[in-house]
Amino acid sequence: MDINKIWKEADWTSEARQIIDGLKKFPDNSKILLILRHSQRDEPEELDAITKLRLTPEGHMIAKKFGEELPRDRSIRLFHSVVWRCQETAEDILSGFKGIDGEGEISGSFGPLYNLETARDFFPNQMKTHSAKQFFFRWIAGLYLPNEITPLQEYCKKAAELFSKKFKESPDRNIDIHITHDFFLIALRFGWFGIPPCKNWVSYLGGFALSFNEDDILLFNNNKLKNVEIPYWWKKT
């Protein structure tokens, strides 16, 4: 398996390559928050088994390659969801980063990366009748009861408070890497910045990164770095 060729040429690694290039465009003295989807996993034969799926061999090696490509002059902290493939991704990224003499640590699982406080079997049952995108738009339209799933804006506000607290505690010039799932990544990007899911959803090791300025946020998304408004409720965290 030619990992360098996969990294440089595969379609599914294109967003990961863009993120690596984007991290280099942030100011040198900035701290960066990166929300990242886990690396490549197997496809489920049954939807109920999706939480048990692990990374493919290729997914492991590309996650390590991602770590090798991170800027070595920064430190990293890695957070992950409770699902195994996210922890595996974190471990592989850290292994790759330490392989280039980078300094980092795994800080463990982090609630907002997986917990939507859903009713038992709610999400799997919805996925049997709706695509992920259909379910997402039904969620943001408020078609579900709060006791079935936390409303999107409530989830995003609570997540912002928790992310912000962790971020403030991070070292100077650090990158906080939060490894989650496509649905959570898309929810946070929409709830924080009003960016709807793109046509192609989000690739493995795809995501977005941000840093705080005094009056706005510097956001890297969709291969572009731009200044965006800080949500009014985030300013109070």
Q: Which structural domains are found in the chain, ordered by start?
A: 3-236 (3.40.50.1240)
Residue bearing the bigger pLDDT, 209 or 236: 209
For 132, counting Cβ atoms within 10 Å of its Cβ (0-12 exposed, 13-18 middle, 19+ buried), the class is middle
- CB contact burial 186-211 (16+ within 10 A = b; e otherwise): bbbbbbbbebebeeebbbbbbbbbbb
CA dist list (Å): 188 to 128, 181, 192: 23, 11, 6
DSSP strand pairing (207-212 vs 217-221): antiparallel
Using DSSP's 3-state secondary structure scheme, residue 80 falls into strand
Tokens (6 digits) for 177: 């890497």
Give the pLDDT mean for 211-234: 91
Amino acid at 5: K
Rounded to two decimals, the pTM is: 0.93
Phi, psi at 231, each rounded to 5°: -55, 140
Give the pLDDT mean for 60-88: 96
